[in-house]
Amino acid sequence: MKYRSYKEAIDKRARTDGLMQYVFQQMAAFNDGQEIDLDFLSRADVGAFCQALGFDADRNWGKLTLDQIAPPDKLGPNVVPEKESALVLHALKVAIQKEWLQPSMDKQPQPDILNDFLPAPGRFQKKKTLGHGWEFQYALAVELEHGRTRGANVSNNHPLLTGMVVMAHLAEDRLYYARLWVMESEGELFNLQLEKAKPKQIFDKLEELGHAREHLQKRIAEKLTAAMA
């Protein structure tokens, strides 16, 4: 069922699929050069979408800061909680299945773009899933920087739009976020050294960099092994 407005979808108690279809319908019209009403981006509307996805009642991303949505993980970087990340990931998977989203790179379809992060063992789009859910949690936190945090708000922390930004980068490189974790850790370590930070801060960042490099090495090895199989 198609809705004429986001409010109509909410008022008629549309399920998650219905809300997603409306958002994708509007974004497709925007891509076609049509004038659209971004009526799904207010804080209240972001909250309604979060509730429809299954987030807890107090978890309206549109009202929260980056650190509130994605607190620092024991490994160092900010990450979105596992439950919420899994719900966003599932929503994107459904959107691909229903062909509301058709990811591609250089005009080549990439319907398996999420397979590295979907639960394993399993299959999606006739290919193996790899179960790197934590990396997707990190990816969402990174792209929340395009929300309310950095003063250049383009998504208002909307979980679906944030996930779409993640997918855009994955179309460039499936290891984009594994590489980014290393790069950001190196940059933060350099800045701490320039600022003559306390030894513990430097040692903690060195430890995080070690985890990031180890993770990237494992992911590269995984890709090489699959390519040679």
Question: Same domain, yes or no, for 36 and 70?
Answer: yes
Question: Same domain, yes or no, for 121 and 10?
Answer: yes
**Pick from 129, 148, 174: which residue ends a domain?**
174
For position 121, what pLDDT does the model report? 95
Does some domain include residue 1?
no
Structural domain count, the chain: 2
Question: Same domain, yes or no, for 154 and 223?
Answer: no
Question: Same domain, yes or no, for 190 and 130?
Answer: no
200: containing domain: 177-228
Question: Same domain, yes or no, for 166 and 205?
Answer: no
For position 30, what pLDDT does the model report? 84
Question: Same domain, yes or no, for 165 and 184?
Answer: no
Question: Same domain, yes or no, for 158 and 102?
Answer: yes
- Residue 212: which residues within 8 A CB-CB, separation 6 or more? 76, 178, 181, 182, 185
**Pick from 157, 174, 191: which residue ends a domain?**
174
Reading the chain (229 residues) residue by residue, the pLDDT tens digits are: 778 888 888 888 888 888 898 998 888 888 889 888 888 999 999 999 999 999 999 999 999 999 999 999 999 999 999 999 999 999 999 999 999 999 998 889 999 999 999 999 999 999 999 999 999 999 999 999 989 877 678 899 999 999 999 999 999 999 999 999 999 999 999 999 999 999 999 999 999 999 999 999 999 999 999 999 7
Question: Same domain, yes or no, for 101 and 125?
Answer: yes
For position 9, what pLDDT does the model report? 86
Does some domain include residue 125?
yes
Whole-model pTM: value is 0.94
For position 2, what pLDDT does the model report? 77
Rounded CA gap, 210 and 71, in Å?
A: 20
For position 10, what pLDDT does the model report? 84
Question: Same domain, yes or no, for 137 and 170?
Answer: yes
Place of tokens 């024991």: 74
For CA atoms 94, 96, 99, 101, give the dihedral sign: positive
- Residue 57: which residues within 8 A CB-CB, separation 6 or more? 51
Question: Same domain, yes or no, for 155 and 223?
Answer: no
